[in-house]
Structure 1
Amino acid sequence: MKKVLLFSSALQKDVQAHMNNNSYGLGLAYLHAVIEKAGYLVETRNFNNDDMAASETEMAADMRRFRPDFLLVQIFTMNRVSSCRLIKMAREILPEVNIIIGGVHASIFYEQLLQNFAVDCAVIGEGEETIVELLAALSSGKTPAGVKGTAYKENGVIVKNHDRPLIEDLDSIPFPRHELFITPKTEMACVLTTRGCPFRCSFCCLHTISHRRFRKRSVDNVVAEVEYILKTFKNIDTIQFADDTFTLDQPRAIAFCKEIIKRNIKVKFLCSARVNPASIELFRLMERAGFVGMGFGLETGSAKLLQSIHKNITREDVLETFRMLKGINIKVVTYLMVGFPGETRDTVAETIDLVNKLRKIKYFEFVGVARLWVYPNTEVYDIMKAAGRIDDSFWLTDQDVPFFTLEHSAAELDQMVTEISLGCMSWQQGVKQVVNELLHPAVSAKKIIPRLIRLKKYFFR
């Protein structure tokens, strides 16, 4: 039986600091399931939240112990540095192993990676069908020639096969191997009910895989996975939907909630959603079905920026959705970014204004604001390239994914983050944070007065 070792390496440190430690690698779990079903002996390791050096030591030990025939590497832009280091190490430890790469970054830069690293083949796009066909070809001594959705190097020349169509029948894919990531202490499981997002946000590169095609599993198939998880893992009390936006297809979301209520399934649900479309009927059913948390990617409160980043929502859409949510017992979280092209002090002020208006309608805690990262295959990346501030060779360096600094320096972005954080934080959060800072043993006497001034500000907001 051929052996397959599947891994995803350490993310860059600043990303790890903001990771939700309750989530796990569903992509790995899906690939493990289909490869195992095809008759291979599979081991999977996820080092996304681990120290790079420590993960290299563990992976080296795994390779020497397991001695796989195939090494599959999931490459994101945020873990490309550690991935390439591990590929080099793997080739030294196992010179004959067949190294296959996949993931968003590999789908964009398959030529660059094949040219510069000891990689045998790249899976481009969605992987479940491609990897099974590719492993079958390689296991029988054939080349990847003709395997759709792959690229490889032949006699020093990179050959790209035809693209593979997206999987239309998502119900045909086996449930992911949750067992890989759920331990006796795990309380939350992750489920993916849809794939793809039809929108064109200027900062998002996920369309690389989905081509902006929204596809969905049937309600019965999703509910069956929920029931399987609850039956198999008795410690699970929460399920997080990993969809880009669970509520995009409202009739389907409503049908799901009704089925959960009908079957009397008792579990807490979390999801991401959009403010448009939205309806009071949907939110009431979600509350009855057990949804306890919902996250909205607002990004900015500026009407001008919402339009320029192609968010396809308005300030009024956001306000109206929060009016619908008033009185609904579902905790709300909003996600913000700063540093978009065209960002100014005025747009920052608009963001603060919108958040505070929303909180007056329905209280929620401010969870922070992110600086705009520049991912390849996005509009903001093209803007940076056109200005001569970055090119594709950057991704061969060991540098972290950059922020968008074409219009503002890193220090100015930090100031904007601070301004939004102070302006959007509720008085309850502000008081709690300042008190914790005052009680911290590292706070010197000269730092106490500025914190007391901040404390007064929050009390009299």
Structure 2
Amino acid sequence: MKKRVLFINPGKNDYFTVGRIHMGQTLLGGMLKRQGHEVLVMDYAFLRGLRGNIRVPEIEEVVETFKPDVIGITVFTYVYNECLSMIERISMSTDAPIILGGPHFIMFPGDFGSDTRISYLVRGEAEDVIKDLVVTAKKEKTPVSIDCTLPSPEGIPAVNLDIAYGSEFLSDYQIQLSRGCPFDCTFCNVKMVAGKRVRLRDLSLCVRQIIEAKKRYPNIRTISITDDVPTINKNRFKEFLKMLKNANLDCELTVDNVRADLIDEEMIGLYVSAGGQNICLGVESGHPEVFEMTHKGESLEKIAVAAKLIRKHGLTLGMCFVIGLPGDNLKRHMASLRFAKTLKPDYAFWNMCVPWPFTEVRQWYEKNGTIGELRNFSTLIDPMVNYQSPPAFTAQFPPEDRIKAWLMANMQTYWFDIRSLGKLAREAARYGLYRPLLIFAFGKTLHTIKMRLEFLARNFKQFGLYFTAGKVLRKLRQHARI
């Protein structure tokens, strides 16, 4: 029996914009489409950024016009409240069975277990169960739990962007060359979600999928590699870069989740030649003792060397930190800030520590601190200075000090939007952060100009005048609409 299947990705009510369409839903939806089902993906996180370009219907209108037989919702912990709202709105509009999935249920397997609005709870990667589940799905009195096994690399299909509402405006195409992470970082939950065994996909197939997507969607200008640990096999990643360069797609390339000990000069050179734009290194903490307790298996010295190598090749340098790791406090946080200032990243993510269930950090906090509500917490302050109270703290690093550290770091690495200056000034007065405020106020514009000039110069060198001029014109049109 062929069915009408609606996938929904709720968006967070903040000032972040998302330039990518939810990969998991377009993977699963593509599988169902090939089975003959009619599939629609409504990624509201992505669609928020298109307002002004496209009319985005509310979910009630989508349900009324599409008339789904089955509805799937992806639940991320940081959008928990938005998911609750979406479920309520849908249940008021239709009796179609609702399937919940997503990484939230790995961390919180008991959630929604007695919610009679829900028919199925899917835990884990759903490639091996989705086809049978959709065919047999019916309205259940209480949720039925389904635990998934991890699919083989061959079982990971291509995305189907045709089924996603607004996909004609997509400019950022994401793909995974592998899944899984073998490392044991104490704060990370990836190994619970994707497994410790790295499942390597066929590179030739991945490149063909990228080429096909670019042909079908000429607006795609960025290829994003979103593996859990993309350079785990350095020679393999170098081969991918060579293949992508030979495809001559005239696309920028970005890569998430890079370890400093898994890159080298040859790789960086190939990355640049393939259109590479940035590399963001996971630092976590600049304090030696706090860093050692993360069990990352690399060193701050290697991170510093890698940062200089990235700079040497003219790439945009990013760094990712975590505030409030075991052993951290306000004084030790200053070591992270000094480390960042020394290496001068173009951007930095300052995440607030979340003691996820089943992690070593969770065990540490259970013995040494206080853990509050983790659901709906966003680990980053958004560009307009909206944030929530830290979900965990210790006597040595209380909530007020954590917020102070959070604000201070983001000010001095120019994270906030200049339009937030008034609100930022009030926060600075509240926490006595006058010097960081002055650094931000006087440095933000110069920092932005510097980044944009470097970006354009790199684009001109990589792609030529036509590509670079087109990018400038698109940005001007975007600002004109604003």
TM-score range, shorter chain: 0.7 to 0.9
TM-score normalised over the length of structure 1? 0.79
Aligned partner of 1:415 in structure 2 is 404
What is the CA deviation profile of residues 97-135 of structure 1, one whole-angstrom value per residue up to 9, with x for unaligned ones? Answer: 212111111344343312134211111100122111212
1:306 positional shift: 1.8
1:327 aligns with 2:324: no
Aligned partner of 2:7 in structure 1 is 6
What is the CA deviation profile of residues 36-58 of structure 1, one whole-angstrom value per residue up to 9, with x for unaligned ones? Answer: 1122111111123678xx99981
Instruction: Indicate if the aligned counterparts of 2:316 and 2:346 stay in contact, CA closer than 8 A.
Output: no
1:230 positional shift: 1.8
Instruction: Indicate if the aligned counterparts of 2:369 and 2:392 stay in contact, CA closer than 8 A.
Output: no
Instruction: Indicate if the aligned counterparts of 1:373 and 1:401 stay in contact, CA closer than 8 A.
Output: no
1:381 positional shift: 3.5
1:191 aligns with 2:175: yes
Aligned partner of 1:314 in structure 2 is 299
Aligned partner of 1:94 in structure 2 is 94
1:301 positional shift: 0.9
Q: How does 1:32-47 map to 2 (within 5 A)?
A: 32-47=29-44
Aligned partner of residue 369 in structure 1, secondary structure? strand
Aligned partner of 1:149 in structure 2 is none
Quick one: which amino acid aligns to residue 409 of structure 2?
I
1:125 aligns with 2:124: yes
Aligned partner of residue 332 in structure 1, secondary structure? strand
Q: How does 1:319-358 map to 2 (within 5 A)?
A: 319-358=304-343
Q: How does 1:175-190 map to 2 (within 5 A)?
A: 175-179=158-162, 180=164, 183-190=167-174
Distance change >3 Å, CA 159–CA 31, structure 1 → 2: closer
Instruction: Indicate if the aligned counterparts of 1:375 and 1:401 stay in contact, CA closer than 8 A.
Output: no
User: What is the number of residues matched between the two proteins?
Assistant: 419
Aligned partner of residue 110 in structure 2, secondary structure? helix
Distance across 2 between alignment mates of 1:401 and 1:37: 45
Aligned partner of 1:296 in structure 2 is 281
Distance change >3 Å, CA 160–CA 264, structure 1 → 2: closer
1:205 positional shift: 2.5
Distance change >3 Å, CA 258–CA 205, structure 1 → 2: same
Aligned partner of 2:438 in structure 1 is 454
* Identity in percent: 19
CA RMSD between the two structures: 3.8
1:259 aligns with 2:243: yes
Distance change >3 Å, CA 395–CA 239, structure 1 → 2: closer
Distance across 1 between alignment mates of 2:176 and 2:294: 26
Distance change >3 Å, CA 390–CA 403, structure 1 → 2: closer
Distance across 1 between alignment mates of 2:148 and 2:185: 24
What is the CA deviation profile of residues 276-305 of structure 1, one whole-angstrom value per residue up to 9, with x for unaligned ones? Answer: 122111111111121111111212112212
1:338 positional shift: 1.1
Aligned partner of 1:213 in structure 2 is 197
1:85 aligns with 2:69: no
1:137 aligns with 2:126: no
1:366 positional shift: 3.5
Distance across 2 between alignment mates of 1:456 and 1:58: 38
Distance change >3 Å, CA 455–CA 78, structure 1 → 2: closer
Quick one: which amino acid aligns to residue 11 of structure 2?
A
What is the CA deviation profile of residues 166-218 of structure 1, one whole-angstrom value per residue up to 9, with x for unaligned ones? Answer: 11134x43311224266554432222222122222233223332122221212
Instruction: Indicate if the aligned counterparts of 2:41 and 2:165 stay in contact, CA closer than 8 A.
Output: no
1:305 aligns with 2:294: no
Q: Unpaired runs of 5+ in structure 2?
A: 378-386, 444-482
Quick one: which amino acid aligns to residue 65 of structure 1?
T
1:83 positional shift: 1.6
Instruction: Indicate if the aligned counterparts of 1:193 and 1:222 stay in contact, CA closer than 8 A.
Output: yes
TM-score normalised over the length of structure 2? 0.76
1:388 positional shift: 8.3
Aligned partner of residue 227 in structure 1, secondary structure? helix
Distance across 2 between alignment mates of 1:62 and 1:349: 49
Q: Unpaired runs of 5+ in structure 1?
A: 144-152
